[in-house]
Amino acid sequence: MTHTHVPFPEGFLWGASTAAHQIEGNNTNSDWWVKEHTAGTHIQEPSLDACDSYHRWREDMDVLAGLGFTDYRFSIEWARIEPAEGRFSRAELAHYRRMVEGAVERGLRPMVTLHHFTVPQWFEERGGFTSEGATELFARYVAACAPVISEGVGHVCTINEPNMIAVMAGQARRGEIGFPPAGLPTPDEETTHAVIAAHHAAVKEVRAINPDIRVGWTVANQVYQALPGAEAVTAAYRHPREDVFIEAARGDDWIGVQSYTRTRIGPDGPIPTADGVERTLTQWEYYPEAVGHALRHTAEVAGPGMPLIVTENGIATDDDQRRIDYYTGALNEVAAALQDGLRVEGYLAWSALDNYEWGSYKPAFGLIGWDPETFERRPKPSATWLGAMGRTRTLPRLAD
């Protein structure tokens, strides 16, 4: 094999991603904080202080910028901004505005996510996205974020992984706990329609704040691979779990592609990962090729010319060399997609920090570790390796 290089397109986003609840700590007005402190759930441990990034965001940005990254995707927390219905916190809006300004000052282009799995507890008690007036309430929150995003923010993500929101709503409605050995539970159809409506309303609000902001959302790509003869079964299985959300992005400025592993589909549905296959700390199959399949499928469904941004991709592992190996394989897929003419406009790794993975701190996705006592940030070799590509402006490509 020979090692060649593929240059980034002009303006290519090169960064890492986080989510507020997973790194900030003490997000006490959110629905997830309530879940974490309710007995009888699947949640192994509460988030508590998390990475204390609410106070240490400057350190996080300093590390990322120092490593060579040019972009940082982070979310702002609705439960902090509107802790009680109709009451907006000027202090919290100012806090997130300081984060935007701090990123820009450090040479990091901020991508701001408005909703990353958490909602205010008052919104949850009303019935969430399927309650009466929910779309208008979400749109009002987005409009209230104008002081945060109106200047200096090039990309806004309205809702992270809406397909997973619909899947989790379906589980809750049916009283299910945990995921099946392969594939995803059936999404709740009412929630699917509701989050799509909320997204479209949010897009309008963002464009009203500043028409120069490029707005979209991100979809969790499961990379459904049909075994011979199972193509129709796979298409029917995939549509309510993924494609309907990609279709809803047509007309947006970009769509976020988020992938980690694959799901193989046979004539009878999803097939569990075979014994003996390498697995990550989340028990997913080690499959760095996933992002290439996800990019190509998203482009096919969204339509020609839709700008694609890899907004999450990574691996849960305690072996940092294995993390570098995974990213190498994934980036070769991104390079191949670019060479084949797909409009891939950025790559943001998940995650900047080891963080709270929705119930447990054990799945280590981070490029940066941290001391649980002092919160000292500890960049891993993978962070240095990945960040350096932001300086070279090239993607690696292994060619036969």
Percent of the chain at pLDDT exceeding 70? 98
Span 357-397, pLDDT tens digits: 999 999 999 999 999 999 999 999 999 999 999 888 787 65
Q: For residue 183, name the pLDDT band (cuts at 50, 70, 90).
A: very high
CA 71 to CA 390: how far, in whole Å? Answer: 9
- CA max distance for the chain: 60
Cβ neighbour number for residue 66 with a 10 Å cutoff: 13
Our count of domains for the chain comes to: 1
The DSSP bridge partners found for residue 368 are: 353, 379
What average pLDDT is seen over the chain? 96
Q: For residue 391, what pLDDT is reported?
A: 84
Contact residues for 355 (Cβ-Cβ < 8 A; gap 6+): 18, 19, 22, 23, 50, 51, 361, 365, 366
Average the pLDDT over 207-226 and give the result.
98
The DSSP bridge partners found for residue 397 are: 4
Instruction: Give the SS3 label for residue 377.
Output: strand
Average the pLDDT over 146-173 and give the result.
97
Span 192-207, pLDDT tens digits: 999 999 999 999 999 9
242 has a pLDDT exceeding 60: yes
Q: For residue 396, what pLDDT is reported?
A: 65
Does the predicted TM-score (pTM) go above 0.85? yes
399 has a pLDDT exceeding 70: no
400 has a pLDDT exceeding 50: no
CA 357 to CA 101: how far, in whole Å? Answer: 27
Span 15-59, pLDDT tens digits: 999 999 999 999 999 999 999 999 988 899 999 999 999 999 999
398 has a pLDDT exceeding 60: no
CATH at residue 395: 3.20.20.80
CA 27 to CA 80: how far, in whole Å? Answer: 7
Contact residues for 310 (Cβ-Cβ < 8 A; gap 6+): 256, 257, 258, 259, 291, 295, 334, 344, 346, 347, 348
CA 58 to chain centre: 21
Span 302-331, pLDDT tens digits: 998 999 999 999 999 999 999 999 999 999
Q: For residue 149, what pLDDT is reported?
A: 98
In this predicted structure, which of 4-13, 122-131, 290-299, 386-395 has the lowest mean pLDDT? Answer: 4-13
Residue type, 220: A
Q: For residue 169, name the pLDDT band (cuts at 50, 70, 90).
A: very high
Task: Please answer whether residues 12 and 69 qualify as being in contact, where contact means their C-beta atoms are separated by less than 8 angstroms.
Answer: no
Q: For residue 1, what pLDDT is reported?
A: 41
Q: For residue 87, name the pLDDT band (cuts at 50, 70, 90).
A: very high
Q: For residue 321, what pLDDT is reported?
A: 98
CA 16 to CA 71: how far, in whole Å? Answer: 7
* Full domain range(s) for residue 69: 2-399
Task: Please answer whether residues 329 and 288 qualify as being in contact, where contact means their C-beta atoms are separated by less than 8 angstroms.
Answer: yes
261 has a pLDDT exceeding 60: yes
Average the pLDDT over 230-252 and give the result.
98
Average the pLDDT over 59-81 and give the result.
98
Q: For residue 395, what pLDDT is reported?
A: 73
Q: Which residues of 286-310 are buried (b: 16+ CB within 10 A; e: fewer)?
A: bbbbbbbbbbbbbbebbeeebbbbb
